[in-house]
A and B are shown apart, each in its own frame.
Chain A
Amino acid sequence: MSIPTQAARQIPVAEIVFWLVLAAGFWLWPSYLPLASQVLIAGLFALSLDLVLGYAGIVSLGHAAYFGVGAYAAGVLASHGWGEPFSGLLLAAVCAGATGFITSFLVVRGKDLTRLMVTTGIGLLLFELANRLTDVTGGNDGLLGMEMRPLLGTFRFDMYGKVAYGYSLAVTFVLFLLMRRVVNSPFGLSLRGIRDNPGRMLALGYPVHRRLIAMYTLASVYAGIAGALLAQTTQFVGTDVLSFNRSAELMVMLIVGGTGMLYGGLVGAAVFMVAHHYLSDLNPSYWQFWLGAFLIAIVMFGRDGVLGACLRLMRAWRVRAQKAALES
């Protein structure tokens, strides 16, 4: 994929269309802009997990830890009278990145199950911490009183969510481009090497742990920014930003979309949240039941998710079209 091939050269067109459609969202789904912002934020968050899971192969069920740290960083800043959005993002990135850097030393040790439990433990620890530090977080009542200043000094956050959508889209787009660059670099390739065979990477001279620490810190920065976006656009932070459910649902979104393909997280977030929006109105337990069944089905019948399935279909269609062209 990272070496120019025919497939790689065809992707940009689809990619440009993808982002244009999102930009046209103001007119395509004007009454669903708040939901669409949430999808973008979840997609950005899933992109962060994709780096950890899809590219570097670390199974994490505690990724909400960094999302939550970012959300609280931005929320606390705004509730203390500094409502400028971008400085909130910056603070969230720094706080989440620092948390990620420190905890990464714990995470990179051990193997799959150990890592799974350590990440889960870190997530639960931070969740408990937020519950206890009621002075800072507001505990169960949530953090109230966030006052956001207008974006760039001109655009006020409106009740239809227009500015929030534009803001989320712009931030997600920029961070997406950066990540695209990173995963297609030698550094990105080395992560995939580590995912496939860490022992052999050591033998090739790669300092595997240091790579994973750098990767994990970067992913935490992304998660923190996603959390901050959620806090700023909804002007509220509850302890659920750190909950286990959020980590688990994030994993589901990424798997539904497809791992290791950058866009999997965004596609998965859209599918997941739109389905959730409609199905959980019927009956919350239906939703959870079919979500579980769907997860099992994905594991049993093809792990590359919705996006992977689409790509396979497209490839099959193209092959058939070529054959038809040859025969005629």
Chain B
Amino acid sequence: MITSFLGVLFDGLAYGMLLFLISVGLSVTLGLMNFINLAHGAFAMLGGYVCVLALQRWGLPFYLMLPLAFLLSALAGLLLERVLYRHLYRRSHLDQVLATIGLTFMAIASANYFFGPMQQPVQVPQFLSGQISVAGVDLNLYRGFLLAAGAALTLALTLALERTRFGASVRAAVDRPRVAEALGIRVGLVFQVTFAVGCGLAGLGGALGVQVLGLDPAFPLKFIVYFLLVVAVGGTSGLKGPLYAALLLGVIDVAGKYYIPEIGAFIIYAMMVILLVLRPQGLISRK
């Protein structure tokens, strides 16, 4: 009983860490520009397909694939920010929703065209596969790697935000965009870079998560609710909120599916509605 609980907790935390990596960019987009980006999951999907291509067709080693997934997704983000997103910052939320749904459709169709509708199988690299037994609990090694990698990245992000000059600009722009502008911070540029990094992180999360989340063309729609939920619960300022929200969400989701599989995804959706009703101003409380 306790061992199964520890196993679920472990899997849930690893899953939550993935959700955090993918969602943190979304949280920044929403906090910084009050922009609803429903296409955010498409960047994670891109990372996932980069992972599949790199490992299976190009034969790249695992540790080279990860930065590649990050870079390509960030590049895609940068490009789309220039041609599409920046024209939508001042538009209504409906316009943002429509355009990003359109973008999601295009991403899904492209994935379908190039890779087909099936789930993509990916082999966990040899040195990360298998189980290890810690104090009588069997733990999946790859999930342990996810947790460690997620923790390391979170630490790096926190340091980057709190110790660097650019990080200070980002925080200023999130908290007080007008003041930041007046102080000579180029909010547009800050946003562009942050957006790209957020997309890159989503791509990295997508690449890391192929084994856990699965990968097929419907990915961006299937998981957008989870990503939005992380932001809704965790808020949009700082990293701590989304991190805790993602971990909590991961554990609840895994535990729900493990202990009461009959009701499946019901828990998450119900939780989402209840939370939003309790906190109606939710994420866009600051305007």
Contact = CB atoms under 8 A, between A and B. Distances in A.
Interface of A: 53, 59, 61, 106, 109-114, 116-118, 120-122, 124-125, 128-129, 131-132, 244, 248, 251-252, 255, 283-289, 291-296, 298-300, 303
Contacts of B36: 112-113, 116
B94 A53 contact: yes
Interface residues of B, number: 45
Contacts of A298: 98
Contact of B101 (A110, A131, A286, A295): A295
A117 to B, nearest CB: 6
Contact of A128 (B91, B105, B269): B269
A112 B276 CA distance: 12
A91 to B, nearest CB: 26
Interface in B73-129: 84, 87-88, 91, 93-95, 97-99, 101-110, 112-113
Contacts of B212: none
B32 interface: no
B284 A299 contact: no
Given A106-B273, A122-B273, A284-B112, A113 B282 contact: yes
A130 to B, nearest CB: 11
B265 interface: yes
Contacts of B103: 292, 296
Given A59-B93, A289-B105, A289-B110, A117 B88 contact: no
A117 B282 CA distance: 10
B190 interface: no
A114 B101 contact: no
Contacts of A114: 232, 276, 280-284
B265 A295 contact: no
B277 interface: yes
B272 interface: yes
Contacts of B97: 59, 61, 116
B221 interface: yes
Contacts of B283: 113-114
B265 A109 contact: no
A251 B93 CA distance: 14
Contacts of B225: 117, 120-121, 124
Interface of B: 30, 36, 84, 87-88, 91, 93-95, 97-99, 101-110, 112-113, 221, 225, 228-229, 232, 262-266, 269-270, 272-273, 276-277, 280-284
B221 A251 contact: no
Contacts of B108: 288, 292
A284 B109 CA distance: 8
Contact of A112 (B105, B263, B284): B284
Given A111-B284, A284-B112, A117 B95 contact: no
Given A285-B109, A292-B105, A300 B99 contact: yes
B282 A296 contact: no
Given A59-B97, A118-B276, A298-B98, A124 B91 contact: no
B276 A292 contact: no
B98 A251 contact: yes
A124 B102 CA distance: 20
Contacts of B273: 106, 118, 121-122, 125
B280 A294 contact: no
Contacts of A110: 276, 280-282
A289 B269 contact: no
Contacts of A124: 225, 265, 269
A286 B109 contact: yes
A280 to B, nearest CB: 11
A203 B272 CA distance: 32
A132 B104 CA distance: 28
A296 B39 CA distance: 12
B105 A113 contact: no
A246 to B, nearest CB: 13
A121 B272 contact: yes
Contacts of B270: 121, 125
A84 B243 CA distance: 55
A111 B228 contact: no
Q: In this complex, which of A111, A132, A287 has the most chain B Cβ atoms within 10 angstroms of its Cβ? A: A111
A117 B228 contact: yes
Given A117-B232, A125-B270, A303 B95 contact: yes
20 contacts: A109-B277, A110-B276, A110-B281, A112-B284, A117-B225, A121-B225, A124-B225, A125-B266, A125-B270, A132-B262, A244-B221, A252-B101, A289-B106, A289-B110, A292-B104, A293-B106, A295-B98, A299-B99, A300-B99, A303-B95
